[in-house]
Amino acid sequence: MGWSTCDLTRALAVIKLWESDKGDLDYDGFARRVAGGRDYDVGDLQTLLRNNEQPVLDAVIEHVTENRRWLGQRTALETRITQDAKRTLKEEVAT
């Protein structure tokens, strides 16, 4: 199977979240949190830019939510893993 970077990243995120038992990959929830803007420290973002540049938070939010939409496009197996609250799919995750 040929894996795109997006497919591989999403699959790894699903598995890591499944292993951590801290929640599941939920693109819609992620996009809502990002759009809320509360998770951004503008001062921290400033350190990533040149001295004369200012972060444009609305542009950052749009970029993240639009360009990471593929996180919500799970395969059938990724969906099954996401829904496995009792963590019974060890064999499927291992393959």
Answer yes or no: is 95 within a domain.
no
Question: pLDDT value at position 44?
Answer: 83
Which residue range is the domain that position 55 belongs to? 26-73
The DSSP symbol for 62 reads: H
Are 17 and 83 contacting, i.e. CB atoms less than 8 angstroms apart? no
pLDDT lower than 50: segments of the chain? none
Residue 40 lies in a domain: yes
pLDDT value at position 80?
Answer: 92
pLDDT reported for residue 76: 94
pLDDT at 1: 57
Q: What is the total count of domains within the chain?
A: 2
Statement to judge: residues 31 and 18 lie in one domain? no
CA 31 to CA 64: how far, in whole Å?
Answer: 8
Is the overall model pTM greater than 0.85, yes or no? Answer: no
- Is 11 contained in some domain? yes
The 3-state DSSP class for residue 12 equals: helix
In contact, 82 and 89? CB cutoff 8 Å: no
Instruction: Quote the pLDDT of residue 45.
Output: 81
Spatial neighbors of 15 by CB under 8 A, at least 6 apart, are: 81, 93
Tell me: do 17 and 31 sit in the same domain. no
Residue 5: per-residue pLDDT: 93
Query: Do 59 and 86 have their domain in common?
Result: no
